[in-house]
Amino acid sequence: MKYIFRPMGLIEVSGESRLDLINRMSTNEVALLKPGGGAATVLTTDVGRIIDRVILYAGESTALMMTGENNGDNIGRYLMRFVFFNDDFRLQPLDGQFMALFVYGADAAAKIGEICGVELDLPLHGWVSAQIAEVDVSVHATDPLSGGGFMLKIPAGSQDAVVQVLEAAGAEAISEAEFDALRIEDKLPRLRHELTGDFIPLETGLWDDVSFTKGCYTGQEIIARMDSRGKISKQLVQLETEGPIPAGTELLAAGKSAGTVTTSVGNKALGYVKSSILEQQIDLSANGGAVRPIFEPQSN
């Protein structure tokens, strides 16, 4: 079991329109979320480009919205631009009041459940209130790495007590590089790495974060057209390299641009590669060394 603190944007959303507004602004169906449930959804531009991937956790009268790292203020301002006169929608930033602690590993559910005294049989993005070391926390099932994943929302100032209990149960802290290495293995995108305005959610493989049956949302036309054609121009894939190559390095195929590296740790990386190159299995290179997709590209 591994843990790492990440500076995610945490925002409390309230008002009768709290889910409706985000539903009409993002890719997934979130308007019907029930208390204790949650969903990941992507905010996109008019042309379907990624602004951020946010996760909503529904409560009785409020919802918690988790943005990408250090992006809460940006997303708050962005959403408020689209609040109409008849919307009942309010945002309360929680940065500085709470911290997001992520715990990963196949044994995370069993160990955290034992610590909290609750059974953590949660669906992805489901959540429950609990206590750790007499500290009131909320436990959120999140994107798994190494077989499991949870986000603990902890009151600022109480993190040391919670960490002490986790470490007593065998949890080990990991560095940013170690976190990125885990992300590469599970192809989990990260803001400002894979989640940028250069890409469309389907290119990132975020099919589960997109509803193709709900009403209109910002960027829908482009995303729906891409789906209906059954063809995406590039795909996020895992890569194996001959040596370390920095993020931003251009990938080449037969001397021509074929894609870009977005995250790299050691000889493993994530990157976007043109679908035509992957389908034809044309050899890739970067900085004079060979680059190999670790497994076949995904399709819907």
Please write the tens of the pLDDT for every residue from 42-57.
999 999 999 999 999 9
Count of domains observed in the chain: 1
Sole residue written with tokens 């708050």: 76
Residue 150 lies in a domain: yes
State percent of the chain over pLDDT 90.
93
Residue 225 lies in a domain: no
Residue 125 lies in a domain: yes
Residue 214 lies in a domain: no
Given a contact cutoff of 8 angstroms between Cβ atoms, the answer to whether 14 and 24 are in contact is no
Residue 146 burial (CB count, 10 A): 15
State percent of the chain over pLDDT 70.
98
Residue 83 is encoded by which pair of tokens? 């609040």
pLDDT, greater one: 229 or 184 = 184
User: Average pLDDT of the chain?
Assistant: 95
Q: How far apart are CA 36 and CA 56, in angstroms?
A: 10
Residue 88 lies in a domain: yes
Residue 246 lies in a domain: no
Rounded average pLDDT over 174-189? 97
Rounded average pLDDT over 199-217? 95
The C-alpha torsion from 118 through 122 and 128 to 134, rounded to 10°, is 40
Against a cut of 0.75, is the pTM above it? yes
Given a contact cutoff of 8 angstroms between Cβ atoms, the answer to whether 3 and 174 are in contact is yes
pLDDT given at position 300: 46
- The DSSP code for 137 is E
| Tally of residues, the chain | 300
pLDDT in tens, 61-90: 999 999 999 999 999 999 999 999 899 999
Residue 288 lies in a domain: no
Residue 57 lies in a domain: yes
Measuring CA to CA, which residue among 229, 179, 257, 3 is closest to residue 107? 3
pLDDT in tens, 149-170: 999 999 999 999 999 999 999 9
Q: Which domain holds residue 53?
A: 2-183
Q: What is the CATH number of the domain that holds 7?
A: 3.30.1360.120
